[in-house]
Amino acid sequence: MNMTSSRPYLIRAIHQWIVDNNCTPYVLVNAQAEGVIVPKQHVENGKIILNLSPRAIRAFHVSNELVEFETRFGGSSMIVRVPPMAVLAIYARENGQGMIFDKEDDGGGNAPPTPPTTTDQSKKPKLRVVK
C-alpha cells in the first residue's frame, strides 16, 4: 500500500516542538528544486536557510504539497512557497536539534524492517505462560 510522504507531517511536528521549547525553527531548503519560491538574492550554493519563528513569519501553513508563509526580506513583504520535498532539514537555531531529511525520500514512508537472517534456532525468543 502506497502512503503519502511523511515529510510534511514531520515538518509540522518538529516546527511545533521547536517553538514549544522556546527556540527558533530554521529550515534548510534546496532553492533549486521545482516549485520553490524564495528570494533568490539570499540563495547560496543552491540552498537557503529560512527562519520560521512565529515572530518572523505570518500565515504559516504546511500541506502535503506546500510549505507556505509570508515574511519580509529587506523590508519587502513576500510569500514564500516550498514543496516539502525541497526541505532538506528543520532544526533549532539555538542548539541544532531537529531533523535532516534523506534526499532520496520519495514520500513512501519507511520500508519495513528486514527480519534477521540468523540460522541459529537457539537465538529465537521463547514464549512461556506465566501464572
Domains and CATH numbers, the chain: 7-101 (2.30.30.220)
Q: What does the pLDDT average to over 94-98?
A: 96
Distances (CA, A) of 44 to 15, 39, 41, 103: 23, 11, 8, 18
For residue range 21-68, what is the model confidence (pLDDT) as tens digits? 999 999 999 999 999 999 999 999 999 999 999 999 999 999 999 999
Q: Classify strands 57-62 and 47-51 as parallel, antiparallel or unpaired.
A: unpaired
Residue with cell 502506497: 2
Angle at 16 between CA 10 and CA 96, to 5 degrees: 80
Query: In sequence order, what are the beta bridge partners of 58?
Result: 70
pTM for the complete prediction? 0.77
The pLDDT value given to residue 102: 86
